[in-house]
Chains A and B, each alone.
Chain A
Amino acid sequence: MVLWLVAVLASAAEPVSSIESLLTALARAPPQAIAFTELRSSALLEGELIVSGTLEYSAPGKLSRIVMQPFEERTDIDGDEVRITHADRPERRFSLRRAPELRGLLTSFSAILGGDHAALEREFELSLATAEAGWQLTLIPRSKRARASIGSIRVRGAGDTPACIAIDGNGGQSTALLLGAVAGPDAAGQRVMHCGALP
């Protein structure tokens, strides 16, 4: 298992010139696992909900989100089916189609790790911005249905290592996923550094 954490240490921060070369640099063969911290805001809530754990990418289209803090919960996405299991709550199953946000995350995640430029282009309009601090790949869904709930997905990183995936919903909710080395304590601070617009 190759952790991005290891990768980030090993790689020199080379500038990325094109989407194509960025995707080639980001590509990893499954299985992959990476630590994450997720910050989610909702129109219903004051402040943010923060959970952390591990994302496991075991094959194209197969992603598990294992939450360890502040409670334990496991979400498995297999093909189209999403299953959420929790120790003392009934299992919840639903179709990925009904969760465009999750679907966007999975597609972008799978395509980035798989280096599948064509698949990404099929579902999203892509644009790349680069700066000294790193790069930012912006994905805007092409389908009307997905656009109804997702404004954009921004992946930020440096070199061949992504640091944050930020998903802006259209209903006042937003999600930021801090990945690898930047996941962990002081999530709010890290988000300011790694998820905002490129300086």
Chain B
Amino acid sequence: MSPRRTAAWLLALWLLSLSLLGIYVVGTLRLSGDLRLFLPGPASPEQKLVLEGIGEGPASRLLLIALEGGAPEALADISQKLVDRLHKSPTFRYVDNGSAGVEAIPDIVASYRYLLSPAMDRRRLDAVTLREALEDRLHDLSSPAAPLLERWIPSDPTFELLSLVESWAPRHAPRQIAGVWFDAAGRRALLVAQTAAAGFDPDGQQKALAELDTAFEEARGNAVIGMTVSGPGRFSALMKERTQSEASWLGSIATAGLLLLLAVAYRRPRVLLLAALPIASAALAGLACVSILYGEVHGITLAFGFTLIGVAQDYPLHLFSHQRRGLEPRANARALWPTLATGVASTCVAYLAFLASGVTGLAQLAWFTISGLAVAGLTTRYLLPRIAGDAFRDPADSVFMKNFASRLSLPAPPALLSAAFVAACLAVVILAPAPFWEDDLGKLTPIPRPLLEQDARLRAELGAPDARYLAVISSGNQELALQRLEDATPQLEALVSSGAIKSFDHAARYLPSGRTQLRRRESLPGAETLTDALDKALRGLPFRAGVFDPLLAAVAHARELPPLTLDALRGTPLGAPLEVLLHERDGRHIAIVAFSGVSAPDRLEQWAAAAGDAVTLIDLKRAAVELVVRQRVRVLWSLAFAAVLLVLVVRIALRSWRRATRVLIPVAMATLIVVTVFRAAGQPLDLFHLISLVLAAGLGLDYALFFEQAGMDRDARLRTLHGVLVSALSTLMVFALLSLSSIPVLRSIGITVTLGVLMNFLLAPWLQTTHAATDHDRR
């Protein structure tokens, strides 16, 4: 076969395998928005709760909804229509606007009222209690509230169910207008909904939001009313949409720019296709690798992964810049390979460190990068030269390159000045007043600040409990957990009355322990006793005969009931909030005591310390900070380890400490300068800055390695400079575009890498060349 035909076959085969890989990836890979993939595994029960809170816990499924822009009555109408419509939807576990009165209480709770009501501890259903209740009911029947209350009287004259429901109402519930929740100003109607989909399932959330929108549009009709939806689910759907739309427009501009750059640099249309092949191979191989290992990929991994293409894209460019007529492309690739391989290996080594970080998102990123770069390197070495041909202009003949090179050749900086500069940078890094690290887990979220602020406002209006303090009571079984909560209640009430906290909430408020339920059941009178007591109580009152037969039946029924359990309440409106407060994990039953208005945390701590081992007081804010610190410590250790490995790889590849130093100094300097800039600007560093710095360092290392390989040969240096220039320009273009993104994470990646690449590009030829020249002269 002629070389041309071989090339055509190879190209066809290559394209075919890429399409197959593409089909596989599209078919299997799921996109995830779960931020926990970027956090280390929990080390303490506190951290476990933090992670659950931002993950799949019921709190993460909560959507806060506000309606505004109309008269309160109109808003209330729409609010009610929304609840009525979404009530039966399988997409939502529940929707609440505060309108649900006693009517919404599940029948099972109504039938258990005598076992659930704390009032049953203070009195018995005897003639005295009944007489008092009946007189009150007579009064109620003559009041305007009669139509509301009348239906409850025959079966529940002591209003056990009504007072039970009243005691369950949130203590800081929003105000009500026209029967539904409103904000304090009375301008916005408020609702809460819990989705069936987890908070970080962007597709499920998108579906729920679409359904909510449709319901709202129908309820709204022609009225000019606005709806605001907030909550983790809304954020994950929003971030997915935004990431997709930004990625697509940034991607289109970057692609167009890249094509233009390649056309100008190489003036051969086929270069465009040739350059794309290793990149596409890298991207698809990376995705396939993550798909096989994890089945899902985090959006941030994907964003980072694709920026990494910036590295892979350099490999064919170096090959092209060194290609010229008469040079066999395979010989060219063979000559460049040691340098290219060192670049690939050192970058892979840096990412290898992320595998050990214990952070799933970073491990995904590492696999993506390592497999992608390896494939890009290997295809550039073994496949690309066979189809590339040798019809390239030699950049060494380019007048532009000669001029450019002469401008770049600056004298070596005096050692003293270099030292002073490094010292100044270090001084800024160490002494700048801004915090060095970002410890706030909240800042790690890619959600724009105004949306977070809006979320916080809605949460406050809806009277959601303090997110900060929680007590956790861990027990071997549900009954024990409920008993412990009941035992703690008197002390908690003392904390409320002493003003240390405003209120508390726990599962036993809704579901008393079996012990308590049985005690109340035992206190219920038998049929005969109750009939006698009722007859006595009714004497002289105008109630018709037989009106209270339903009461007799209800009490007789209650005396037969086994204690109510959480299982029986699942799926009822009471079940969803209860599951937040009491759930089973790893065989332990975890009960949560939520606090509102904590003004004396120390008194809370005293209580927790006195309550024994089973009770743990959790400061979620502190736990979150600890989690971030832990994550950072792990990542920093990984990076330190990676740096050592990287130095070793470069040293082994170049077989000389002197040469290795020449390559590593510009990279180290560039990284130092970028960190200095951030410190001077008062920007605390977070995980994304660190990853970006590694990426920029990887690119810089490649630049320095290629200059090192070119040695002092003038033409070789010009070709290398050309390759590095095209590489750096294309990378700069992509990341400068990224720094325009509205998504904070993408923006910080963009800015960091842009700065890093710029520094590396300026320093690599200068420092490396001048040091090489000095060495050359000495020899």
Q: Which of A's residues lie within 8 Å of B, judged by CB? A: 38, 40, 42-47, 49, 51, 65, 67, 71, 73, 75, 79-82, 84, 86, 89, 92, 94-102, 149, 169, 171, 173
Contact = CB atoms under 8 A, between A and B. Distances in A.
A136 to B, nearest CB: 24
A84 B147 contact: no
A177 B441 CA distance: 64
Interface string B255-279: 0000000000000000000000000
A78 to B, nearest CB: 11
Interface of B: 72-73, 76, 99, 101, 136, 138-139, 141-148, 150-151, 153-154, 176-179, 542-544, 547
Contact of B542 (A46, A73, A95): A46
Contacts of A100: 147
Contact of B543 (A44, A81, A89, A98): A44
Contact of A97 (B141, B146, B150, B179): B179
Contacts of B153: 44
Contacts of A92: 143, 145
Contacts of B76: 80, 97
7 contacts: A38-B142, A42-B146, A46-B543, A49-B138, A80-B179, A81-B177, A173-B150
Given A44-B544, A98-B101, A71 B139 contact: yes
A97 B73 CA distance: 10
A98 B176 CA distance: 13
Contacts of A75: 143-144
A187 B177 CA distance: 36
B142 A49 contact: yes
Contact of A98 (B73, B136, B179, B542): B179
Contacts of A38: 142
Contacts of B139: 71, 73, 86, 89
A135 B360 CA distance: 82
Given A49-B138, A101-B144, A171-B151, 11 more contacts: A44-B544, A45-B543, A51-B142, A67-B142, A73-B143, A79-B177, A80-B177, A81-B176, A82-B144, A82-B145, A101-B147
Nearest to B178: A80
Contacts of B547: 44
A47 B73 CA distance: 38
A94 B543 CA distance: 26
Contact of B154 (A44, A67, A80, A101): A44
Contacts of B146: 40, 42, 173
Nearest to A80: B178
Nearest to A167: B147
Contacts of B150: 42-44, 171, 173
Nearest to B142: A49
A95 B147 contact: no
B148 A99 contact: yes
A47 B542 contact: yes
Given A44-B544, A89-B136, A84 B141 contact: no
A95 B144 contact: no
A44 B141 contact: yes
A135 to B, nearest CB: 27
A169 B544 contact: no
A80 B73 contact: yes
Question: Which of A73, A89, A98 counts the most B-chain CB atoms under 10 A from its CB?
Answer: A98
Contacts of A98: 101, 148, 179
A166 to B, nearest CB: 15
Question: Which of A49, A71, A73, A149 counts the most B-chain CB atoms under 10 A from its CB?
Answer: A49
B144 A102 contact: yes
Nearest to B138: A49
B543 A173 contact: no
Contact of A40 (B142, B176, B179, B544): B142
Contacts of B154: 44
Nearest to B73: A80
Contacts of A101: 144, 147
A43 B546 CA distance: 11
A95 B142 contact: no
Contacts of A82: 144-145
A5 to B, nearest CB: 24
A71 B142 CA distance: 10
A46 B544 contact: yes
A59 B101 CA distance: 29
Contacts of B143: 73, 75, 84, 92
A183 B191 CA distance: 45
B141 A45 contact: yes
Contacts of B151: 171
Question: Which of A38, A44, A100, A169 counts the most B-chain CB atoms under 10 A from its CB?
Answer: A44
A50 B99 CA distance: 32
Contacts of B142: 38, 40, 49, 51, 67
A99 B147 contact: yes
A98 B178 CA distance: 9
Nearest to A102: B144
Nearest to B151: A171
A198 to B, nearest CB: 27
Question: Which of A45, A51, A67 counts the most B-chain CB atoms under 10 A from its CB?
Answer: A45
Contacts of B138: 49
A98 B148 CA distance: 7
A45 B136 contact: no
A46 B543 CA distance: 6
A100 B141 CA distance: 16
B147 A94 contact: no
Contacts of A45: 141, 542-544
A32 to B, nearest CB: 19
Nearest to B140: A92
B145 A94 contact: yes
Nearest to A105: B144
Closest 3 A-B residue pairs measured CB to CB?
A95-B179, A49-B142, A80-B178
Contacts of B73: 80
Given A42-B141, A44-B153, A94 B148 contact: yes
A97 B178 contact: yes
A95 B145 contact: no
Contacts of A67: 142
Nearest to B176: A95
B98 to A, nearest CB: 10
Contacts of A89: 136, 139
Contacts of B141: 40, 42, 44-45, 49
A149 B150 CA distance: 12
A49 B142 CA distance: 6
A57 to B, nearest CB: 15
Given A49-B141, A95-B179, A173 B544 contact: no
